[in-house]
Amino acid sequence: MKAIVGSRSLVDALVPEDRFQRLAWQVVLAVLGTLVLSISAKIKVPMWPVDASLQTLAVFVIAASYGMRLGTATLLLYLLEGALGLPVFQGTPERGIGLAYMAGPTGGYLVGFVVAAAIIGWCADRGWDRNPFKLLGVMVVAEVAMLALGALWLAHLFGIDKAFVYGIGPFIITDLLKIVLAACIVPALWRILRRLRV
């Protein structure tokens, strides 16, 4: 196993160094990540002003734990599953499936998930995931990028006046809470791992 100090991401510290074993583990982790994303999309938490899913939390924790390459690949695999018609998204199958659903109001946010995962994963690969304050700052930037892409797509579909009211405003409070939680979870996992390796 790789020493914790030289590890780029949390998962990097856990998977074997052997090339083929590492690849096998990464495939398994990517599939498990899409399963977590699917389940988190279906869980609704009553909050104000709108009910929230746990999906943003899952995206951010996966990105920070997996690093840029595996985290982004996991999000792309998740989108591929959805494009192929699997009911992995929040509104599926009730509001449609496949590409038709992805072209709807949530399409910009789905692309935003990938961008957010790349931003967070890139910083995690550089050790920012070990410090909750640095990770919080990175996650805020990723959140802004994700909401901006979602709002831009909504503006394209419904007009710019509705983009902020329906695409950003209702999610600010709930997403900030999820960001704080995610920024605490990953550094805590690093501390646990260090104690286990001592």
The enclosing domain of 67 has a CATH number of 1.10.1760.20
Classify residue 88: in a domain, yes or no: yes
Single-letter code of the amino acid located at 164:
F
Give, in degrees to the nearest 5, the angle at Cα 76 between 73 and 79: 155
Classify residue 40: in a domain, yes or no: yes
Alpha helices in the chain (DSSP H): 10-14, 19-42, 55-83, 98-102, 107-124, 132-158, 160-167, 172-197
Classify residue 2: in a domain, yes or no: no
Classify residue 4: in a domain, yes or no: no
Please check whether residue 73 is in contact with residue 37, taking contact to mean a CB–CB distance below 8 angstroms: no
Classify residue 3: in a domain, yes or no: no
Domain ranges, residue 157: 10-197
Q: At what angle do helices 132-158 and 55-83 cross, to 10 degrees?
A: 50
**Residue 7: count of CB within 10 angstroms of its CB:** 20
Classify residue 52: in a domain, yes or no: yes
Taken in order 56, 60, 62, 67, the sign of the CA dihedral is: positive
Task: List pLDDT tens digits, range 99-152.
Answer: 999 999 899 999 999 999 999 999 999 999 999 999 999 999 999 999 999 999
Classify residue 144: in a domain, yes or no: yes
What is the pLDDT of the chain when averaged over all its residues? 90
Classify residue 134: in a domain, yes or no: yes
Confidence of residue 3 (pLDDT cuts 50, 70, 90): very low
Is the model's pTM score more than 0.95? no
Total of domains in the chain: 1
Count how many residues are written for the chain: 198
Which residues neighbour 122 within 8 Å (Cβ) at sequence distance 6 or greater? 68
Which residues neighbour 18 within 8 Å (Cβ) at sequence distance 6 or greater? none
Task: List pLDDT tens digits, range 8-31.
Answer: 888 988 888 888 898 999 999 999
Q: In angstroms, rounded to a whole number, what is the distance separating the alpha carbons of residues 127 and 63?
A: 13
